[in-house]
Amino acid sequence: MILPTYNEAENLEPIVRAVLARLATTGPGHRVLVVDDGSPDGTGAIADRLARELDGVAVLHRSRREGLGPAYLAGFARALAGGAELLIEMDADFSHDPADVPRLVAAAEAADLVIGSRYAPGGGIEDWGRGRRLLSRGGSWYAGKVLASPVRDLTGGFKCFRRSTLERMDLDRVRANGYVFQIELTHRALRAGCRVVEIPIVFRERRAGSSKMTARIALEAVWKVPAMRLRRAS
């Protein structure tokens, strides 16, 4: 489990403890890797304390904030080097329910990439206003149309990858961030011939702290998604 963090001091300890409890039900050998981008609110120090107190917790400190994509790529590299066979992406703010983690792990037995999907039948979003819903749904719709993708929730960030899936992707060439990072990973998995499965989840507003989404991150998709299609055609 890779948890990228930036200013998540209020959420980190409860999410780590909740995730560990759920991972324990899936079998032995699980670990939580906190990837902190130099949070000024003390998130990194909390992560270090949890690593000392709890078996199965590790921390990767990064010197500055570079965004979600680079943080996950650094986490993937550390986890793969450590021998991980399944790698899970998850937000550290309880937007993704830890209770859904065993469902993603179970689904990975028959899939190369499992997406916890807000837009699969049975999924949904709670506590969001109309504007945020339209932005999220519109982003997935736009990317799906441009890339001719069958995946409903292309911008979703709750995923479980098999090791072999990431090894088949050219991760060194991934440069996107935010929404587009999630779109690009799924797009690369599909291009590599991986079996991608969506299972329904309910996405909720974060428990504490502020959203890291900005207009710049959202607008990144406007030009980077068509660029993905052009690279595919070339």
Portion of the chain with pLDDT greater than 70, in percent: 86
What per-residue confidence (pLDDT) applies to 32?
98
What per-residue confidence (pLDDT) applies to 136?
72
Portion of the chain with pLDDT greater than 90, in percent: 68
pLDDT at 215 over 60: no
This model's pTM is above 0.75:
yes
List pLDDT tens digits, range 16-26. Answer: 999 999 999 99
Query: How does the average pLDDT of the chain come out, rounded?
Result: 89
pLDDT at 167 over 90: yes
pLDDT at 217 over 70: no
Dihedral angle computed from the Cα positions of residues 105, 107, 109 and 113, in that order, rounded to the nearest 10 degrees: -90
Task: Phi first, then psi: give them for residue 164, nearest 5 degrees.
Answer: -65, -30
Nearest by Cα to 153 from 112, 120, 121: 120
H-assigned helices in 37-177: 43-53, 68-81, 101-107, 130-147, 163-168
pLDDT at 125 over 50: yes
Dihedral angle computed from the Cα positions of residues 212, 216, 221 and 227, in that order, rounded to the nearest 10 degrees: -130
DSSP H or E stretch at residue 216: helix 215-233
Q: How far apart are CA 75 and CA 1, in angstroms?
A: 9
Instruction: Give rounded-to-5 percent helix, strand, coil for the chain.
Output: 50, 15, 35
Instruction: Mention the CATH class of domain 2-233.
Output: alpha beta
Contacts of 58-62 with C-beta under 8 Å, sequence gap 24+, read: 58/31, 58/32, 58/33, 58/34, 59/33, 59/34, 59/35, 60/33, 60/34, 60/35, 60/36, 61/36, 62/35, 62/36, 62/37, 62/38
List pLDDT tens digits, range 183-198. Answer: 999 999 999 999 999 9
pLDDT at 174 over 80: yes
Q: How confident is the model at residue 234 (pLDDT cuts 50, 70, 90)?
A: very low
